């Protein structure tokens, strides 16, 4: 799903204009980025959490020349899905798997 598709979905579900929906989506994204920039952890119950992971400095190589280069320490954003999100995704896959199994068994197909 792209940002434009997300804006479209928010607009459709909320009966807001696309412009208002875009402002909402942009505000949510900006709030997450700002909180991470301040070093805060974002927890969205039932969905997941965003955190920063610190990467230590290391030695790397320039892929073009092969020369060794120092890669400085940095922080990278990390998303950890929540239990409810994982359960919803697996439940959907489980239902789809059952539907495939039933369809194959009715057709006499051994594939599942």
Alpha carbons 53 and 78: distance in angstroms, whole number: 7
Mean pLDDT score across all residues of the chain: 87
Q: Which residues in 1-112 belong to E strands, given as ranges?
A: 42-44, 48-55, 58-61, 68-71, 74-81
Is 35 a residue whose pLDDT tops 60? yes
The pTM of the whole model exceeds 0.95 = no
Q: What is the mean pLDDT of residues 84-97?
A: 78
Q: What confidence tens digit (pLDDT) does each residue in 38-67 have?
A: 999 999 998 999 999 999 999 999 999 999
- Percent of the chain surpassing pLDDT 90: 70
- Give the domain ranges of the chain: 1-40, 51-79, 82-112
Alpha carbons 28 and 24: distance in angstroms, whole number: 6
């Amino acid at each position: 799903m792209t940002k434009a598709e997300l804006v479209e979905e928010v607009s459709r579900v909320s009966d807001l204009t696309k412009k208002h929906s875009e402002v909402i989506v942009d505000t949510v994204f900006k709030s997450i980025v700002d909180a991470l920039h301040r070093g805060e952890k974002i927890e969205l119950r039932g969905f997941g959490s965003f955190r920063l992971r610190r990467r230590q400095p290391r030695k790397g190589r320039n892929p073009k020349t092969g020369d060794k280069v120092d890669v400085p320490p940095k922080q990278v954003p990390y998303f950890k899905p929540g239990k409810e999100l994982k359960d919803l995704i697996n439940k959907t896959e489980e239902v789809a798997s059952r539907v495939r199994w039933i369809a194959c068994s009715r057709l006499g197909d051994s594939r599942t």
